[in-house]
Structure 1
Amino acid sequence: MTEAELLGALQAQTRATAGGAEALEATERAIRRFVWFPEPWHLHVVTLWTAYTHLLTFSQSLPIAPRLGFFSGSPGSGKTRALEITSRLAANGQDVGSLSAAAMLRIISSAGRNEKPGGYPVTLFPDELDRTYSANSAGNQDDLTIILNAGYKRGAVVLRAHKDKQDEVIRYDCFAPVAFAGLATAKLPDALLTRTFVVHMKRARREERPDSFLPLAHAENLEHVRAELSEWASGAAVEIAEPTALLGLLLDGRITSVTDGRDHEIWSCLFAVAALAGGTWPERCLAALESAKAETADRADGSKSTRLLAALRTHYASRPANIWPVGISKQDAATAAINLDPLAFERFDGRDELRPDDVGALLREHGLKAVRVRVANGRAYGYRWADLQDAWERALPPLLEIEDEENEPNAPGSIFETQ
């Protein structure tokens, strides 16, 4: 493809496929009837992701299968119901409950032999991922993590040794969209979270509770909505059959200007659905993206090392007026983390609270090494704020900008070293 052709593809506006906006509206109504979400943009993300599973089955050129995760801090928040409803609306949805790595490979491989248009890939819906990724199951989830991470891209395979023939290796296709649910304490790996649209669920108040779902009464209606999505997706796939048309959609300036890297990979999938559907869906998708960024900036979810960095940044931002040591000791870092993020650090990995040695191990994941540094009470082994600032900028979303009149030489987020 010449540079001129590529430029033309990037600037091309893919026309909306007939019936797309209506199919997405029907999907959104069906989900909203039975599932309550704390924020409206959560519903938009789930609707677009559900529609994307259908587009994925008809367009063999779409390379990515983003994950969708429903999480909450307590049971009874609608996570399982969200999986149940979404599984009935997604393409080739299978509500599999607890899922092992071996079962997952066999389900995906079996679907790969389906020659019926729209029959591949299968969409999996495992529940209770907090049990899989818990302190008690450490080491048992490695195979599942590999499959969930690798199966995010089309063409991905995992290798397994033949049970009876030691000199033979079996290649298992592992490409499939996956939606899962679990308590917020699930220790999901960072690499998996970057591939996932995370929806934080909350228990609905009495006046917010959605309708109860009864398969006997409501399954037929959901199947009708699912069929509408499938029919629309089959036509929409024709619109992006040419590589230039698909590139023009995935690299549309409206999405590339606000995302990059892994964020662009997953959000361009939803934006492709929104652009093909037309109506107000492109604007809803972009608004959901901005809301997701804001929510991520406000939360410290993720690995323990990332949560530690977030706690230390908050601790630094709350320093006394214009006076702050050059660094922080490992002991003070542990204390600050426990005070600011007790959920993660009061009982670290199921035992006693976070210790100074734990701080060292976690921050080494971000390339930080303890050095002798001047702290409030003299000198101790710890970390320079300047080094932590670099780690914050690399690993954490930016803090919300403050007003100009509040910007002082020592505003939170800048490095001020006393002499």
Structure 2
Amino acid sequence: MTAALRVVPTAPPLPGHVILDQARDFVARFSAFPSQHCAPMLALWYAHTWAAEHFYVTPRLILSSAEPGSGKTRVLEVAKHLTQAPEMTASGSAAALVRMVAAGPITILLDEVDTIFAAGGGGNEDVRGMLNLGYKRTATIPKVKGDSGSGFVVERLPIFAPAALAGLVGSMPDTITTRAITVNLRKRRHDEHVDGYLERRAERDAAPIRNALATWITGIGEQLGDAEPAMPHGVHDRSAEIWEPLLAIADAAGGHWPDTARAACVHFVLSANKPTPSLGIQLLADLRTLFTAAGTDRMHTTDIVERLRALDDSPWADLHGKPLDSRRLARELSRYQVAPLTFKHNTTNAKGYVTYATDKQVEQVGLADAWARYLPVENADDKGDR
């Protein structure tokens, strides 16, 4: 008689919400994050690398800190165990990175960006350009192949790939930060405890989580790419574009993750990491404050300059050693298609600014239009606080 084959039952695959829970808990073991929203966000970001090809954008992840030794490198080290095809590096030319991405898939884990970008982001423009363009799936960089004898051929290399960047505050170009989710890490307090990191042990512990994450995400990649997740109130434009892949994964996971992911989205987009406004945006905001407080739709330039200089915690009394004057005011506002005109106000005829659109100068649309385009909408509560 032929012995009956023994069938060994296989364990059913874990549901998505359990896999993400395990990824979140693994991430949280090794870092003291500044917020409860960090570990869930990182778990979702790591998960998206396994389906990046199905998304239109891949949000940049920025790990910043005011001082060295704040745990940025550790977050990247942990990311190696949960992301698809991680490539951890601390330098590299744009040409090398382009070739690595073109041969992908790859997840770029770029440490010590201080060595790549000068303070304020004025450094390696080729790398900056590649990271900016590579945020969207359709991006390519043309390269010429061949020689004068055999002829030249233009080769279009894809540069779309997930990228996490770690560096000190101020070392990241603004053009990258606007495409990113930023975690501002801090030095760990003496009473904050984390697990010691040993690479081989971490790799062993992460292996089943990584395998489950990869199997689950790659199996629903097309579904994720077609998803149109609902955004929290106030999250729109580029912020919505950045968070769409992560919210799509959270919705597919189920359980608490749709709510957890949206709470993290609100935290990072609306509650934390608000960028310092440009001088022009601050000027528009301060002007709106002045005009609203005065309850008027017009104000002469001399009055505006005097009031701006008197504002607390504003730069207008000292702009690189000189106070704001009418010429600088006009120059700053001209970028927003706002120009002064002459009108009579409080018995005085002089140049100034108005909030409404004007007929005399076709391109002069008034301050209200610039406020609507460049400043967040004021609500009743905001006005009540003035």
TM score, norm. by length of structure 1: 0.70
For residues 83-141 of structure 1, give each alpha carbon's deviation from its aligned partner in whole angstroms, at most 9, with x where no partner exists.
22223321111111124311210111222xxxxxxxx2x11011233454435873x43
Q: Report deviation, 1:234.
A: 2.7
SS of alignment partner, residue 90 of structure 1: coil
Whether the aligned pair in 1 keeps the contact of 2:299 and 2:352 (CA below 8 Å) is no
Match of 2:70 in 1: 77
Q: How far does residue 389 in structure 1 lie from its aligned partner after superposition?
A: 4.7
The yes-or-no answer on 1:47 pairing with 2:43 is: yes
Match of 1:200 in 2: 184
Distance 2:265 2:299 in 1: 37
Unaligned stretches of 5+ residues in structure 2: 1-12, 357-365
Question: 1:184/1:232 Cα in 2 relative to 1: closer, same or farther (>3 Å)?
Answer: same
- Residue 274 of structure 2 is aligned to residue 299 of structure 1: yes
- CA displacement 1:392-416 (0-9 Å, x = unmatched): 432344456517xx73xxx75xxxx
Q: Does 1:269 align with 2:248?
A: no
Whether 1:125 aligns to 2:109 is: yes
Kept in 1, the 8 Å contact 2:85–2:107? The answer is yes
In structure 1, C-alpha distance between the alignment counterparts of 2:266 and 2:127, rounded to whole Å: 31
1:394 pairs with one of 360, 373, 380 = 373
The Cα of 1:353 is off from its aligned counterpart by: 8.2
Report the secondary structure of 1:68's partner residue: strand
1:155 match: secondary structure: coil
- Residue 251 (structure 1) aligned with residue 228 (structure 2): yes
Cα shift at 1:233: 1.4
Q: Separation in 1 of the partners of 2:349 and 2:172?
A: 35
Count of equivalent residues: 359
Q: Indicate which of 49, 53, 62 corresponds to 2:55.
A: 62
Q: Deviations over 1:54-91 (max 9, x none)?
A: 133xxx43322111112233333322222222233211
The 3 A distance-change label for structure 1 pair 103 and 227 is same
The AA in structure 2 aligned to 1:310 is Q
Task: Check whether the contact 1:36–1:204 (CA below 8 A) recurs between aligned residues.
Answer: yes
Partner of residue 90 from structure 1, selected from 83, 94, 97: 83
Secondary structure at 2:194 match in 1? coil
- Greater C-alpha radius of gyration: 2
Which runs of 5 or more residues in structure 1 are unaligned? 1-16, 112-119, 413-419
Normalising to structure 2: TM-score of the pair?
Answer: 0.75
Report the counterpart of residue 215 of structure 1 in structure 2: 199
RCO higher in structure (CA 8 A, sep ≥6): 1
Which deviations, in whole Å up to 9, do the C-alpha atoms of 1:277-326 show, x marking residues without a partner? Answer: 11110111122222233226x83436x34xx4136525754899648882
The question of whether the paired residues in 2 share the 8 Å contact of 1:155 and 1:175 is answered with: yes
The answer to whether 1:102 aligns with 2:98 is no
CA RMSD across the alignment? 4.1
1:52 Cα shift?
0.9
Paired position in structure 2 for 1:9: none
**Is the alpha carbon distance of 1:68 and 1:322 closer, same or farther for their aligned partners in structure 2, counting shifts above 3 Å?**
same
Which one of 99, 119, 133 corresponds to residue 150 of structure 1?
Answer: 133
The letter of the residue matching 2:373 is: R
Matches within 5 A, 1:247-396: 247=226, 250-252=227-229, 254-255=230-231, 259-295=235-271, 299-301=274-276, 304-305=278-279, 308-310=280-282, 313=285, 317=289, 322=294, 326=299, 339-340=313-314, 364-369=334-339, 387-396=366-375
SS at 1:159 equivalent: strand
Contact persistence 2:143–2:156 (CA under 8 A): yes
2:160 to 175, 187, 191: 175
The question of whether the paired residues in 2 share the 8 Å contact of 1:328 and 1:385 is answered with: no
- Aligned equivalent of 1:3: none
CA distance in 2, matches of 1:105, 1:124: 11
The percentage of counterpart residues that share the same residue type is: 26
Distance 1:71 1:99 in 2: 19
